[in-house]
């Protein structure tokens, strides 16, 4: 089939590679977010999907909005049979959805109808789910509500960050997306409507949402820290300044007042509403990321000081 692939970040690359490598399909173009400023010089850079397409000599389309007339004209001229989507990050109006013969098929990183929305993996980690997965579905106007073609599942490991889990799902999801495209071409796949029960939503996580609240139980602090790693990154305040925090580790045998810091020889503990957590890596303003013990020695924490 003639495919126009839509995606933007690195998590979409395994799927794009699988489709490019398939002898059954022809990726005639990719649609990705416009080049964005990056680094100290704020130079414009291609998205990871756009850069991979460039490497393979594939046309790259970067509309600011996916309903722009010029973009639609080019999309129609390409005559795609199907448009696979992985983490594109732009709204698709109905006039755009109507262009390809078999529609647009999205790879979404949850077992639908659970965790529709922008941050399904983060929601799964924060919620303490034991099992998550990925789903392929036909895109419709309602958010992530289209009929499902296929599902793969993945165990959420005890110390998974969102980054860890998403990396694994991007690989298994690429296989699922390729088999879905194959099945649509063969006519062997029938999309099944999502059940009305079990619908949950996972909104995009803003920086303010990633602030750790040490007045909550240790399990909640741990899950949130892992859920927002690597993006947007956990943080709290110490001595009136923002302190970036990596994942923490619950410590069952130590209790401290919420937010109080205890510096030991090999670990730095912070109290929560239940038991303490041990800090991993930290990054103070203007400093490099470092082990919490190195940071604590440098700032010379006094007895009773708190992180909030």
Q: pLDDT tens, 245-255?
A: 999 999 999 99
Contact 224, 210 (CB under 8 A): yes
Which residues does the annotation place in the binding site for (6S)-5,6,7,8-tetrahydrofolate?
110-113
Share of the chain above pLDDT 90, in %: 96
- Region 267-284 average pLDDT: 98
* pLDDT given for residue 39 in this prediction: 67
- Region 178-193 average pLDDT: 97
Residue 123 to residue 215: CA distance in whole angstroms? 20
Q: Cis bond leading into 230, ω under 30°?
A: yes
pLDDT-derived band at 36 (thresholds 50, 70, 90) equals: confident
- What residues are paired with 37 via a beta bridge? 44
pLDDT-derived band at 201 (thresholds 50, 70, 90) equals: very high
Residue 144 to residue 120: CA distance in whole angstroms? 11
pLDDT-derived band at 44 (thresholds 50, 70, 90) equals: confident
- Region 43-60 average pLDDT: 95
For the segment 52-107, what is each residue's pLDDT rounded down to a tens digit? 999 999 999 999 999 999 999 999 999 999 999 999 999 999 999 999 999 999 99
Cα torsion through 88, 11, 135, 181, rounded to 10: 80
Signed CA dihedral, 225, 173, 184, 19: sign only? positive
Q: Which residue has the tokens 């100290």?
A: 40
- Region 272-284 average pLDDT: 98
Q: Which residues contact 299 (CB under 8 A, 6 or more apart)?
A: 238, 239, 284
- What residues are paired with 60 via a beta bridge? 30
CA 277 to chain centre: 25
Going along the chain from its start, the domains and CATH numbers come out as 2-202 (3.40.50.170), 207-299 (3.10.25.10)
- What residues are paired with 241 via a beta bridge? 238
- Region 268-286 average pLDDT: 97
- Region 172-194 average pLDDT: 97
pLDDT-derived band at 37 (thresholds 50, 70, 90) equals: confident
Which residues does the annotation place in the binding site?
110-113
41 pLDDT more than 90: no
137 pLDDT more than 90: yes
Q: Which residues contact 255 (CB under 8 A, 6 or more apart)?
A: 271, 274, 275, 276
Q: Which residues contact 27 (CB under 8 A, 6 or more apart)?
A: 3, 4, 5, 16, 19, 20, 53, 56, 58
- Region 146-160 average pLDDT: 98
Phi and psi torsions of 114, nearest 5°: -75, 140
Share of the chain above pLDDT 70, in %: 99
């Amino acid at each position: 089939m003639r495919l126009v692939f839509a995606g933007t970040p690195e998590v979409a690359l395994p799927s794009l590679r699988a489709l490019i490598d398939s002898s059954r399909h022809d990726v005639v173009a990719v649609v990705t977010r416009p080049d964005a400023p990056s680094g100290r010089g704020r130079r414009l850079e291609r998205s990871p999907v756009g850069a991979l397409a460039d490497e393979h000599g594939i046309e790259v389309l970067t509309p600011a909005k996916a309903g722009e007339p010029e973009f639609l004209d080019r999309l129609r001229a390409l005559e795609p049979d199907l448009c696979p989507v992985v983490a594109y990050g732009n709204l698709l109006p109905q006039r755009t959805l109507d262009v390809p013969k078999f529609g647009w098929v999205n790879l979404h990183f949850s077992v639908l109808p659970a965790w529709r929305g922008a941050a399904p993996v983060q929601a799964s980690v924060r919620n303490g789910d034991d099992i998550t997965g990925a789903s392929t579905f036909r895109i419709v106007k309602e958010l992530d509500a289209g009929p499902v073609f296929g599902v793969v599942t993945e165990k959420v490991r005890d110390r998974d960050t969102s980054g860890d889990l998403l990396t694994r799902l991007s690989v298994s999801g690429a296989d699922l997306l390729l088999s879905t495209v194959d099945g649509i071409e063969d006519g062997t796949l029938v999309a099944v409507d999502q059940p009305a029960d079990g619908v949950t939503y996972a909104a995009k996580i803003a920086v303010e949402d990633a602030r750790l609240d040490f007045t909550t139980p240790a399990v909640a602090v741990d899950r949130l820290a892992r859920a927002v790693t690597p993006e947007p990154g956990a943080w709290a305040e110490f001595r009136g300044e923002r302190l970036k925090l990596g994942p923490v580790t619950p410590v069952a045998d130590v209790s401290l007042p919420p937010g109080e810091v205890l510096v030991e020889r090999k670990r730095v503990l912070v109290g929560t509403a239940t038991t303490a957590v041990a800090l991993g890596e930290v990054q103070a303003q203007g400093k490099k990321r470092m082990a919490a013990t190195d940071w604590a020695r440098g700032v010379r924490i006094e007895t009773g000081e708190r992180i909030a």
